[in-house]
Structure 1
Amino acid sequence: MVVTVGTARAHGPGRSLDTHTAALDDLLRHAAGARAGTARAVLLRGPSGIGRSRLLAVASERLGAEGMAVRSVAGLPGGASRIRAVDALLEPPPEGPCARPGGAHEPRDTHRDWRRLHRRALDLLADGPTALVVDDAQWCDEASLRCADFILRRSADQPLLIVLAQRTGVPGPGTRVLTEILAQDRCALLELGPLDERDTQRMITRVLGAPADPAFVRRCTEITGGNPLLLDRLLHTLSTVGIPPGADALHQLSTVHQTVLASLVPEFLAAGPGPVRQVATALAVLGRAAVDPLAALSGLSARHVESALGRLRHIEAVPADSPPRMREGIRTAVLAALDCEELRGLRVRAARVLSDAGRPAAEVAEQLALLERIDEPWMFAVLREALAEAPTRATVAAAGRWLRGAPGRRLTTAERADLHVELARAAARTIVAPADALWHLRQALALLPHPRDRAPVAVQYAMMALGTRRAPEALRLLERVLGDLCSGTGAGPGPADREVRVTVESALLATAVNDRSALPAARARAAALPVPSGHSPADRRLLAALSAFAALDGGSAGRAAALARQALRADEPGTAGWGVFCCSAVLALADSVDEALTALDQALSPAETQPPLWPRRAALAGRSLIRHGTGDVPGAARDAWAAVEVVGPAGAPPFARIALSSVLLSQGEARQAAAVLDALARSAPDLDRSVWEWQHYLYTKGRILRELGDPEGALELWRRCGRSEEEAGIANPVLAPWWLPTATTLGGLGRGAEAAGIVAAARERARRWGTPRALGLGLVAQAAVVEGRDRTGLLARAVDLLSESPARLELAKAEYQLGRELLALGDARGARGHLRRAIGLATRCGYRVLAAVARDALVTAGGRMPQLATVPLDSLTHSERRIATLAERGHSNKGIAEALFITPRTVEMHLTNVYRKLDVRGRADLPRGLGRHPGAPRPADGLSATS
C-alpha cells in the first residue's frame, strides 16, 4: 500500500463545500467535542465517488483554521505497505527507503508497541488538540486500526479526534476491524448518501457560475445518481464545451454523461472490488454474454457475477438488458486499460469458453478475428466453419492472416490455392466491395500453373471484377488462359474440356461487352461463334453474352430476346450472376419486361442463405432501372435504396447509384440526384471505360442538368453520349435514349433544325430494333422538330404505340405533350382528356414532377382535378399483373410457366401475392378485365386457354 501523510495547522478561511454540508457540520461538531477534552472517533462511510475525500480535505482545513493539528494518511489498494499506517501517522517519516526494513510485516511486541505509540500520541496532544485522519481505511493494515482503537481508549480525556473514512462495497484488510470499532459507543457513524437536488443546484452554481433551470437540475441528479464525482466531471465537461444549464440543454446531457462515464468507469473499477473489475473485464471482452460465460471467463461463481453485474448496473456501465452488455464507450475504455498480451489471452480464453458452451462458430470467430496472430490449428478450424455459416470481412481477414502465416505448415500448393478460393467465395458474401475476394483469387492463380486448373479461378475472378477497376486485368487474364487452352497445352477434345473453353469464352465476352476499348474485338469474336444449344451451364453463359452483343448491335429485338430466353430457360433459380442480370437487361430493352423482372425476382430470392452481395446489389440496381422504365417509380425507389443501403451511396456499385439518381430525379429531388452522380464521378474516375454504366451516367446527368435549368450543359452531355455510342459501335436506340431529350430540348429552344439529323438516325435505329417503345419514342422525338398539326399527329401515333409497350412513364409524358399541343391549337376539350390520362398515369407511377405540371395544364384547359384513388390493382407488379391476367383467362400454372419461361413454383408465388393484395381467395375470384387495366401487359403470343 502506498500512503500519503500530511500535517496541517492552517489559519484563515478554508475551502468551501457545496455538497454534504450536513455531514461536514456533524464532523465539525464531533471535533468541537474532542477539543473540549473528550476523545472520540468518527467513521465516515460511503460508496466510491460519493465525495469522502473532498469532505475530509475541507474538514481538515476547517480544523486547522480552528487551531487543531491534523495528521492524515490515505491508503491505496494492493495489500500491506512497507510502513504501517499508524507509524506514518504518529512517527516521523523514515530517513530512507530502507529505514524500516520490516515495515508492516516486521515482528513486534504488540502491547509494548502500542504503549510506545500511545506515548507518541500523548506528546502530540501536549502541543494541542489533534486529529488523526485515515482515508480509505478499509485498505489499511489491521494492526494499525487496532492500535488506533487502543490509543482512543487510553486517551478518553484528551483532545483527540480520530476520523476513519471507509469506501463501501470495497473489501480490504481493515474492513472487519472497522466493523468492530463501529460497534463500540466511542465511534460515531456518518453515512454519505447521494446528493439531493439542493446539493446538485449548489454544485452547478459553483462550477457553471449560474443557477440552473429546475428541469436541468433534476436531470443532472437523475443521470448521475447523486454521485458528486460524476456530477463534478459532468459539469466541468459542460463548462468546457460551453453548454449552459438551461432547459434547452437537456437533450445534450445524456450524450455528455455517457462520455464522462466512459472516462470514469476505469477509475471506479481500478479502485473497486476485484470481482467487479473481473466481471467488467470479462463483459468488455465478450461484449454481450449470459452469466455462465461471464463466470467461466472471470473465474468467479455465478453468485459473485450476479452481484458484480448489479454494481455495474448501479453505476450505469451496464444497462438493464438481458443478456447483459456493456455500453460501447465504457467497453472501449475498459479494454484500453488492458495491455496487449493480457487482452490477447482473454480473447483466446473467451473463444474457448464460447466454443465449450456450444455457441455458433460465427460468435466464437468474433473473438478470434480480433487477434493479430492466428497461430493455432483449432482457431483456423473455427474461422473456416464461421466463413461457411455467416462470413464477415473480419473473419475473412483473420483466416487470411492464418493462411499467410502458414508457410511452415504442411499445406500443398493445391491445398493453399483451394483455401484462397474458399476465402474469396466467403469474401464475396460480405458487405464490402470485391477487393478482398479478388486478392485471394490472385493468390490462387499464382499457385496454379496448369491452364485447366487456372481456368475456373480466372472465370471467377472475371465475374467478380465486373464493374471494378480490375476488369481490364481480368480481360487480359482470360485471353491468356483461353489462348493456353486453345493451343492444346491446357485442354483436350473431350466434352469436359470443351465446357472449360466455352466457360472461359463466355466470361471473356461478358467482360469485354462492358469495356469500350475491348468491345470492337469482342464483337468480331462473338460474331464468329456458332450459337450454342444451351444444354450446359457454359452454353447458357455464352448465350447470355451473345444476347448482350445482339442488343448493343440493335439489329432485332426479337433475336436478342430469343437468345436471352434461351440462356435463362434452363438456368438454375436463385443465382444472381452476371448471366441473369445481362439477360434481364436485354429482355427489358426488347419490351419483354415481365420476363426480365421474373428472372430478377428469382435471382433475388435465392435458396442460399447468404448469397454473394456484389452481384445481388447489381441485380437490385438492374431491377430498379427496369421498374423505373416501366413507370413503377416507388418500386424502383425501393430497389435502388436496397442496393445502396448496406454500404451507403458512396460504396455502392455504379449502376446502383445511377438507378438511385434516376429515382430521385423522378421524385423531384434533382439536386440530391446530382449529388449522387457527382460522388460517383469522383469515386470512379475510369467510369468512361465501361459501356452500359457510362451511357446511362451521361444520359441521366443530362436530364438532371436540364431539370436544374442548364439546357446547354445537358445538350453537351447528351451529344457526348451519342459520340460515345458511335465510337463503341452501339446502335440500340433505347439503351440510353439521349437523342429523345436532345430533340425535345432543342425543339423547346426553337432550334429544331439542329435535331433533324439526330432524329432521322434515331428513327431508323428504332425501326430496326422494332419494339413499340422504340417506335413510339422515335415519333415523340420527330414531333419535337415539326410544327402544328403534324406535331399532334405524330404525338397521337406515339401515344398509340407507347400504349402497347410497358413504358408507362414515357406514355404519361407523351399524353402530357399531346394535351399541351392540343391546348395550344385551341382544342381544350381534347387536351383535357389527354392531360387527365397523363395525371392518372403519372400519379400511379409516382412521377411527382410530371403530375404537378400536368395538373397546372389541366386547370389552364378549364378542366377539374380528377379524383385519383389508389385501387388494389395499382399495387400489382408487372409480373403479378401478367400472371394474374393469364390465370383469370383460364390458363394453368404449367401453361403460364412455359409461356413466360419461368418455373411453376414462381407462378404460384406470384399468384399468392396477387390473392393477398386483391383480397381474393383464388383464381376464380380474380376480377375481370385485368388485361384492360391502364398499363397492363398484352397477353403472351400464341398462348391458348387449353395450355
Structure 2
Amino acid sequence: MGQLALISGPVGCGKTEVLDAFADRAVRAGALLFSATAKRSGAEVPYDVLVQLFGAGTAPGRLRAQMDKFVDADLADPSGTQALRILYAELLAWTADRPVVILVDDVQCADHESLRELLDLVSRLRRASALLVFTQSDDENAATALVRAELLRHHHWRRIDLTLLSVEGVAALVRAQTDPARLPLSAAEIHRLSGGNPLLVRALLDDVRTADPRRPDSAFGQALLACLHRSSPETLAVARGIAVLGRPTGVPLLADLVELGQEQTRTALRRLESAGLVTGGDFRNPAGGAAVLAELRPEERSRLHQRAAELLYLQGASASTVARHLLQTGETRQRWTQRLLREAAEVATASDDLDFASDCLGLALESSPDDHERATALARLAGVVWRRNPVAAVRHVSLLIEPSRRGLLSDRQVTAVARSLVWHGMTGEAKEVIEATGRIGEAGGERRDAELGMIRRWLRSWHPPLAKMVTGAPRQPETLDAADLADERLLGAALLSEVLTRGAEDVVRRAEDILRGCGTEVDESTLEPAESALLALLYSDHAERALTWCDPLLAAASERYAPTWNARLEAVRGEIALYQGDLPNAERYSRAALDRIAPRGWGVAVGAPLATYIQATTMMGDLDAAGAYAKAPVPQEMFKTRFGLRYLYARGLYLSACDRWHAALSDLLTCGELASEWEMDVPSFVPWRGAAARLYLKLGDRDRAQKLAGAQLIRAKQGLTRTAGISLRAVAACGGTRGRLQLLREAVDVLHASGDRFELACALADLHRAHQATGERQRANAVFQQALRLATECRAEPLRRALLHQSSDEHAESIVTKQPNGGLVKLSRAERRVTALAATGHTNREIAQKLYITVSTVEQHLTKAYRKLNVTNRADLAAACMPTMADSA
C-alpha cells in the first residue's frame, strides 16, 4: 500500500537531514529513489520540481525520455499531457518489481504545477509499493494548505513534527561534536543563544572554536541568514525590521516599519520564535541582528533607518533613540532633526557617551542649511571634543572664529571660543573674537557686558598681556556689580585674579562659597570656577583647605569619561601636594596629568603640570627625570601666561641643582621681571626672590641676596604662613650669624603650622647647621633627628644626603635608640653602633675600619638589625630608625 509522510517543523531543525538519512536507508534497501528540493527561486518555473524528480540523471532512462518529451512539448499540446501520463504508468509499473520512494524537500516552495501533479501522483500510487515523503516548514501559504488538505484524504499517511532541542538535547549534540570541557560556553548558554535550533547550535560551536561569534560574517550569522531565506518573505521582512530597530518594540511599530499588516507581523514573529531565532521580540544572539543588517543593501538599510526614525519621533520616543537611527541614514534635511540631534547630544554628553554626542553634533552640523544652527552645533561639538582631546578640538575651534565675528554665537559660546583660543596659544585670534563681540554688543545688554567682564578677569589671571591689549569692553571688570558676579564662572575668575594681583580679602570664605556652589559633581559649568577657587586657596597659603575640596572633585571627575577634566584637576592636585611638601604625590599627580593629555594638548597651560613635575623631581634628586621635561619643547606663547612664571621658577630650581647658577639666575630674574610687569608679583605664587637670593650667595654677591630676601619677606603678608616661613629662611641664609637662630626658629614655627613638610625639613636643616656653628650639640642633635625624618618621609634625597654628610657620629648613634612608634629597639650596643653608621650612609668596609672590626662582623650585626627593625635594605633603614618628630626645635 502507498505510504505518505510529512516532516514539518521550523527552519533549521533538521528536516533535510532526516530526509537525507531516510534516502540513504532507502537506497541501501534497494528502493528506486527520486528526490527534489523545492526552492523559492524556482516557484515561478512551471514543473521545476517534477523535472528534478524524473528528469535527473539518476532516473531510469524510459522515465527521463518521457519527461523530456513533456518538457519539449508546448503546454497546450496534448502530446505533452500524454507523455506525462505514460511517465506515471511507467512509474507504477516499476513498483511491481521494487519499492519506489519519492522525496521532496521544502514542498511549501514548490511551483504550482509540480504541486498539482504531485498530489495527483499521490492518488495514483495509493495502492502501489511506494512511499512519498515531503518536508515543509511551519510557514503557512497556499501550498502547505493544499498539501495538508490532500493528505487528510489519504488513509496511510503520517506526520512527523520536529521541534527545537532542549538544554539536554543541546548538551548531547555538543558531546557528539566536541569536548564540552574545552568550550567557553556551557550547554545552557549555547541553548540560550541558539534557542535549541540544531543548525544554529552547530554554527555556534564552529564559531567558539575558530572565530568571534559576534561578527556578522560568523558561522552563526550565516546560518541564521540561511534560516531566514528559507522562510517566507514576510518572515524575512520582519527579521530585518527587528534588526533595524535594534530593540524589542510593539507589533504596531514593527508592522509600520516593514509595511505589513499587524496580523502578518504577529505570525512572522511567532515563526521566528518557534525557530529559536528571536525571543521577546529581539534576536537571541546579537550576531544575528548584525548579520541581517550587514546583508541589507546600503540604500535599503538607510531607508529603513530613516523610516524608523520618523515613526519613533511621531511616537514620542527619546531623542537618543531617534538619533541613533538618523545617524545610520548618513544625512537628514528635515528641520525637526536638528533640534533632536542637539538634544540627544546633550543627553549623551551628560552620561559621558562622548562618541555618540560627537556623531549627533557632526550630523547636525553637516545637514543643517541654517548658519546659526550650524554655528551652534559646531560650538557644542568643539566643547565635547575638547573634553576628550584638546588637540582634536583645535580644528573645530578654528572654524568658530568666523561665526564669532558674525555674531552667530551666544555670549557664553563666544567666551568659550575665546578661552579655547587662548588655551591653544592663538592669542591674535582670541583678541579679534573678543573685540568683535564688544563691537557687536555696543547696543547689546548687561548679559553681554558681564560676559566681556568675565573674559577680562579670566585673561587677567591667565594671559595678562592679552588682558591689557583687549579693548571694546563696555565696562572694566573691576566695576561689575554683585548681580553680574552671580555666575560662579565670574566669581572664580574674579577671586583668582585678585589673589594673583592686588591680593584678596576673606579668601577662604569666598573660595569655599564658590566650591560649595559647584557641588560635588564635575561638569562643564563647574570645572573652571572650581579650579579657580582651589588655586585661589592654594596661592593664599591654604593648601590644607584646598586639599579638602580637591580630593572629592578629583574622585567625582574620575567617574566621568572626561580626560581633560581629570588632567586639569590632577594638575591642581599635584600642585597642592607640592605646596605641602608631599613630593611623591606631587610627582605622581603631575605625571598623571601629562600622561592623560599629551603636552601638545595642554597648550599654554602645559606649564602648570610641567612646573610641578620638574620642581618635585628636582627636590627628590631625580635630575634625569626633571631634565627630560625641562628640556622638552614648550609653546612660546606660554611665557606670556601665568603658567610661564611657574615654569621659569621650576626650571630655575632645576638648573640651580645642576650647578648651572647663571642660567638658573636668568630664569628666576626673568620670572620676576614678568611678574612685576604683569602685577602678578605674589611670593605665595612664585617666591622667586628667595631662590634668586640663594644663587647670589653662591655667586658671592651677599648685598643683592639680602635685598631680594628682605623684599620677599616684606611682600609675605600677614597670614601667609608658608610664604613667610620660606622668606624668613631666605633672610636668615643671606644675613650674618647674628639673629640667624631667631629667624630660623620663627621660620620653623610658621612652616610647622603651614603643613609644608619639605620646607620645614629645609628650615630644620638650616637650624641644625646654625646650632652646630654655635656649639649647641644637644639642640643640634634634636633638630637633626627631626630634619632627617622629614627629609626621608618627603623622599627629598639631596636634603637627606646633605644632612647625613653633615652629621657627627654622636648624632648617628642617637637615631637608633627608639623605634618610630616610641617603643625601645631591641638592639645590642654593637648592633646599634653598626646600624647607626649604616643608616648615615657608611659602607660595610668603612664601618669595619671605623669600629676596628671585620667586614663579616659588620654583616652579621646588620643582618640581625634588619630582622629586628623589619627592614630589607639600607634605603628603608634610615626611615625605620628615625624617632617621631619633636613638637619644636
Name the TM tier (shorter chain).
0.5 to 0.7
State the Cα RMSD in Å.
Answer: 6.0
The answer to whether the Cα contact below 8 Å between 1:661 and 1:673 also exists between their aligned partners in 2 is: yes
What amino acid does structure 2 have at the position aligned with 1:356? L
CA shift, 1:680, in A, is: 4.8
Cα distance in 2 for partners of 1:311, 1:834 equals: 82
Q: Could you list the runs of 5+ residues in structure 2 that have no partner in the other structure?
A: 57-63, 350-356, 388-392, 631-648, 654-665, 676-680, 795-814, 825-889
What amino acid does structure 1 have at the position aligned with 2:715? R
Cα distance in 2 for partners of 1:102, 1:675 equals: 86
1:714 maps to 626
Cα distance in 2 for partners of 1:625, 1:338 equals: 57
CA shift, 1:351, in A, is: 2.9
1:238 maps to 208
CA shift, 1:377, in A, is: 4.2
Deviations 1:641-681 (A, max 9, x none): 544654443x5575245246679997978997476344356
Cα distance in 2 for partners of 1:263, 1:360 equals: 33
The answer to whether the Cα contact below 8 Å between 1:779 and 1:797 also exists between their aligned partners in 2 is: yes
Alignment of 1:746-895 (within 5 A): 764-765=711-712, 767-770=714-717, 771-778=720-727, 797-798=746-747, 800-801=749-750, 810=756, 814=760, 860-863=819-822
Alignment partner for residue 146 of structure 2, among 174, 177, 201? 177
Identity over aligned pairs, percent: 18
What amino acid does structure 2 have at the position aligned with 1:630? E
CA shift, 1:76, in A, is: 3.1
Matched, 1:337 2:337: no
TM-score, normalised to structure 1's length? 0.60
Secondary structure of 2:553 counterpart = helix
Alignment of 1:367-378 (within 5 A): 367-378=325-336
CA shift, 1:236, in A, is: 1.7
Matched, 1:685 2:643: no
TM-score, normalised to structure 2's length? 0.63
2:372 maps to 418
What amino acid does structure 1 have at the position aligned with 2:23? S
Q: 1:734 to 1:669 in 2, by over 3 A?
A: closer
What amino acid does structure 2 have at the position aligned with 1:171? E
The answer to whether the Cα contact below 8 Å between 1:133 and 1:162 also exists between their aligned partners in 2 is: yes
Alignment partner for residue 245 of structure 2, among 286, 295, 315? 286
1:699 maps to 612
Q: 1:772 to 1:320 in 2, by over 3 A?
A: farther
The answer to whether the Cα contact below 8 Å between 1:421 and 1:440 also exists between their aligned partners in 2 is: no
Total equivalences in the alignment: 721
What amino acid does structure 1 have at the position aligned with 2:611? L
2:106 maps to 136
CA shift, 1:638, in A, is: 3.6
Matched, 1:91 2:54: yes
1:296 maps to 256
2:550 maps to 636
The answer to whether the Cα contact below 8 Å between 1:265 and 1:317 also exists between their aligned partners in 2 is: yes
What amino acid does structure 2 have at the position aligned with 1:179? R
Alignment partner for residue 122 of structure 1, among 84, 88, 92? 92
Secondary structure of 2:5 counterpart = strand
Secondary structure of 1:375 counterpart = coil
Cα distance in 2 for partners of 1:832, 1:315 equals: 83
CA shift, 1:271, in A, is: 3.3
Secondary structure of 2:11 counterpart = coil
The answer to whether the Cα contact below 8 Å between 2:431 and 2:466 also exists between their aligned partners in 1 is: no
Matched, 1:271 2:241: no
Q: Could you list the runs of 5+ residues in structure 1 that have no partner in the other structure?
A: 1-37, 242-252, 407-415, 544-565, 843-855, 866-947
1:47 maps to 10
Q: 1:372 to 1:802 in 2, by over 3 A?
A: same
Cα distance in 1 for partners of 2:499, 2:571 equals: 20
Secondary structure of 1:354 counterpart = helix
2:483 maps to 570
CA shift, 1:694, in A, is: 0.8
Cα distance in 1 for partners of 2:451, 2:226 equals: 63
What amino acid does structure 2 have at the position aligned with 1:334? V
1:472 maps to 427
Cα distance in 1 for partners of 2:365, 2:449 equals: 31
CA shift, 1:82, in A, is: 0.6
Cα distance in 2 for partners of 1:790, 1:445 equals: 61
Q: Counting helix residues as a fraction of each chain, which structure ranks higher?
A: 2
CA shift, 1:92, in A, is: 1.8
Secondary structure of 2:600 counterpart = coil
Cα distance in 1 for partners of 2:423, 2:274 equals: 52
Alignment of 1:170-209 (within 5 A): 170-180=139-149, 183=152, 184-195=154-165, 200=170, 203-204=173-174, 207-208=177-178
Alignment partner for residue 513 of structure 2, among 598, 613, 616? 598
Matched, 1:227 2:197: yes
Q: 1:68 to 1:213 in 2, by over 3 A?
A: same
2:685 maps to 735
Cα distance in 1 for partners of 2:450, 2:487 equals: 22
Deviates more, 1:114-123 or 1:311-320: 311-320
The answer to whether the Cα contact below 8 Å between 1:584 and 1:600 also exists between their aligned partners in 2 is: no
Deviations 1:696-740 (A, max 9, x none): 432135436876x72553378474266767545234334367999
CA shift, 1:598, in A, is: 1.9
What amino acid does structure 2 have at the position aligned with 1:580? G
Matched, 1:393 2:358: yes
Cα distance in 2 for partners of 1:633, 1:352 equals: 51
Q: 1:296 to 1:215 in 2, by over 3 A?
A: closer
CA shift, 1:214, in A, is: 12
Matched, 1:442 2:396: no
1:148 maps to 118
1:853 maps to none
The answer to whether the Cα contact below 8 Å between 2:7 and 2:15 also exists between their aligned partners in 1 is: yes
Cα distance in 2 for partners of 1:575, 1:197 equals: 61
CA shift, 1:769, in A, is: 4.5
Q: 1:670 to 1:381 in 2, by over 3 A?
A: closer
1:57 maps to 20
Cα distance in 2 for partners of 1:571, 1:149 equals: 91
